[in-house]
Structure 1
Amino acid sequence: MIQTSRLNSIVIGISLVIGLIGLGLSIKSGLLAFKSLERSVIVKGLAEQVVDADTVIWPIKFSDAGNDLASLITSVQEKNTSVIAFLKLHGFDDDEITIGTQTVHDKLATEYSNNQGFKFRYTVESSLSVYSHSTAKVLNASSKMSELAKQNIVMLRQDYNNRLEFLFTKLNDIKPQMVQTATQKAREVAQKFASDSKSKLGKIKSAKQGQFTISDRDSNTPHIKKVRVVSTIEYYLSD
């Protein structure tokens, strides 16, 4: 009876040892598989595309000076009419032209004026704006502004708040293709890395689409834009 009990104990002990060995091997295999899955590579893919601007904002400002304010205002209004006629002559419609404000500067009203040293008391600045989807019309008309100078219309210099602005507003139309291109280029880089490291490229672990940027292609052609996006993608690697 005692011998049978000892035999059973031995069998149970051996079974436990075998079970523990099997569990250990199973855990080791699982850890190795998990570790293998955790191997990855992070790569970036760049996509760029050159596009034409589709919208133009063209602020037009001129000034006139005189000593009789009423006559000066009348002169400015007449010059406004001449500028509008110039724009229509070059193909712009009424809905593309907006008449802005007129600002009057009185030199005698300034704090530091000494009532001397200037020829004209009043200066009036007038502004108009062109909003168009035709860059060709704007480029053509803006290159011929000297025609207005012949009519004694003095244009003000463009500054940051008063400059010809070309925009590209159809980004959503090209986004899908650009994201696809960036993803493909990222995969090419990852595939090269995997090949060099004697590994196999797996599925995507994570992906991050970068911000789209739109800039002038160069300083001489602001109506031609460069759209750019960088995608960051992490791939699994396996042996």
Structure 2
Amino acid sequence: MSTSRSSVNAIIFAVAAIASAALLSSGLTSSINNFRSFDRVVEVKGLAEREVAADTAIWPLKVTRAGNTQNTIYQELDQDIQAIRAFLLVNGFDESELSVSAPNVLDKLAERWATEDVGLRFTGDQTITVYTEKVNQVRELRQQLSELGKKGVSLSSNGYDTQVEYHFNGLNAIKPSMIEESARNAREVALRFAEHSDSELGKIRSANQGQFTIYDRDSNTPHLKIVRVVSTVAYQLVD
């Protein structure tokens, strides 16, 4: 009687163990499948670009003079600066848009390696800078600088410090729409990838908005800018 009861208990224990093992195996398989499904991710990039016009110009006009007396240099520089100021004011710029640097006068004989044969002893330069939102006015007036030359103004047109700078300061106004556009483009790429892999697009796992960059459209039109942003988005793929 005791032996029979022990056999029954052993059978029940064995069946229970088998059932538990089956349930555990099923649970592990399900967990592994879920983990693999969760681990299937596609990372895509979405680009947004806009062409915009510069809204600010910084225009330096530099004059240079040479002579044998300092007084002559200072007088000629001052005359040139006043002529340029009058030229700018009569062509629509305001006094508040103009700034004048201090004159820079160099005595060549005071240089360490100077010799008596230096030609004209003194050279000097001075710059009047236009900082304005009248970008088109700057572009148009630059074509008329020969008028200053005809009046004897000694303008320097060589060198990096005489180049006009064009800037775009309206980024904050277009940021939201560009971010939305780049994210939408990223999603379109992810949807095509999911379609080709016989999957469906799940939730966003991570997203990173890249930095905005602004650069000249080309070297001939620096007043036209390209604004660019790339968003990186990772989506989960599900069967």
**TM-score with structure 2 length normalisation?**
0.94
Count matched residues. Answer: 238
Question: What does residue 76 of structure 1 align with?
Answer: 77
Deviation of 1:107 (Å): 2.1
Cα distance in 2 for residues equivalent to 1:20 and 1:109: 97
Cα gap change, 1:25 to 1:144, in 2 (>3 Å): same
Q: Secondary structure at the match of 1:218?
A: coil
Deviations 1:47-106 (A, max 9, x none): 100001111111111111222321331222122111110111111111100011211122
Task: Flag the 1:82–1:169 CA change in 2: closer, same or farther, 3 A.
Answer: same
RMSD (CA atoms): 1.5
2:65 partner SS = strand
The answer as to 2:22 corresponding to 1:16 is: no
Compute the displacement of 1:5 (Å): 3.5
Aligned pairs for 1:88-107 (under 5 A) are 88-107=89-108
Please give the residue correspondences for 1:1-239 in structure 2 after superposition, counting only pairs within 5 Å.
1-2=1-2, 3-116=4-117, 118=119, 120-239=120-239
CA distance in 2, matches of 1:217, 1:84: 31
1-side partners of 2:39 and 2:6: how far apart?
49
Q: Is the 8 A contact 2:211 2:230 kept in 1?
A: yes
1:12-57 C-alpha deviation (Å, 9 max, x unpaired): 2211220121111011112101101211111111110000111111
- Determine if contact 2:63/2:81 at 8 Å carries over to the other structure: no
Residue 217 of structure 1: CA displacement? Answer: 0.7
Q: TM-score, normalised by structure 1?
A: 0.94
Amino-acid identity (%):
40
* CA-CA distance at 1:210 after TM superposition: 1.5
Moved over 4 A (4+): none
- Please give the secondary structure, in 2, of the residue aligned with 1:219: coil
Q: Which moved further from structure 2: 107-116 or 55-64?
A: 107-116
For residues 31 and 74 of structure 2, the distance between their equivalents in structure 1, rounded to whole angstroms, comes to: 87
> For the residues of structure 1 that align with 2:58 and 2:76, how far apart are their CA atoms?
26
Q: Secondary structure at the match of 1:12?
A: helix
CA distance in 2, matches of 1:110, 1:221: 41
Structure 2: segments with no counterpart, 5+ residues: none
The offset of 1:191, in angstroms, is 1.0
